[in-house]
Amino acid sequence: MVGGAVEPSVIAADPAAALGDPHGRHPAPLIRAGLPSDDRALRQLAHSSWSHVHNPMPAPSPLSEPFFNEHHQPDDVLVAEIDGEIVGYLLIGRPYPMETGSHVRQIQGLDVSPRARRRGVGQALVRAAVREMSERGAQRVTLRVLGHNRSARRLYESEGFVVEGTLPGEFVLDGERVDDVLMGLRLPPRVQ
């Protein structure tokens, strides 16, 4: 979200961000803007944690393919680190290319390393992304989540997202029809 930055821009480093660990057993994730130098670590994370539980797309490209591309640049990514290691990311985008939809932003991907799950990383990323999008003038945030991904749906609902529609049986994953659930969050007007 900070274009051309050499040093990472810290978005959130609040110990309270580790809400999934009320006893303080795990360090709080540091949430920062993505950097071009994150490409390899993000590629590895996307490749190692891919599953049809949370992604209708085919498995990610081989590790030789770059993570950043014409659809998502470092400015579009929030990165979660614990002890200097990238353990998660969230992709932010504009769902519509036209001006009439410029007030809407979309969470276009959220991934947390399997060994860092249930530690508040996903929640910290979602909270930081909503805050960042609000600061940038978004009035609404949308996302799509697979119907069978109950943990992701609970996470989004806990952050105020509501189901706005369902596309029944939109995908066939591992031989099963899976719903595509559309969720949204209306952001309060920005006070200037």
Which tens digit of pLDDT belongs to each residue from 11-31? 665 444 444 455 566 789 999
Q: Could you read off the pLDDT of 117-151 as tens digits, one per residue? A: 999 999 999 999 999 999 999 999 999 999 999 99
Nearest to 66 by CA among 44, 84, 33: 44
Per the CB < 8 A criterion, the answer to whether 146 and 54 are in contact is yes
- pLDDT of 164 above 60: yes
3-class secondary structure, 8? coil
| Domain residue extents for the chain | 10-143
Q: What was the pLDDT predicted at 13?
A: 54
Q: What is the mean pLDDT of the chain?
A: 87
Q: Which helix (H) or strand (E) holds 165?
A: strand 162-173
pLDDT of residue 31: 98
CA pair distance 166, 55, nearest whole angstrom: 16
pLDDT value at 78 more than 60 = yes
Q: Structure tokens of 81?
A: 């680190």
pLDDT at 54: 85
Helix/strand/coil (H/E/C) assignment for every residue in 104-115 = EEEEEEEEECHH
- Residue 3 pLDDT exceeds 60: no
Residue 9, token pair as written in the block: 């821009």
Domain range 10-143, its CATH number among 3.10.129.10, 3.40.630.30, 1.10.10.10, 3.30.70.20: 3.40.630.30
- What is the rounded radius of gyration, in angstroms, for the C-alpha atoms of the chain? 16
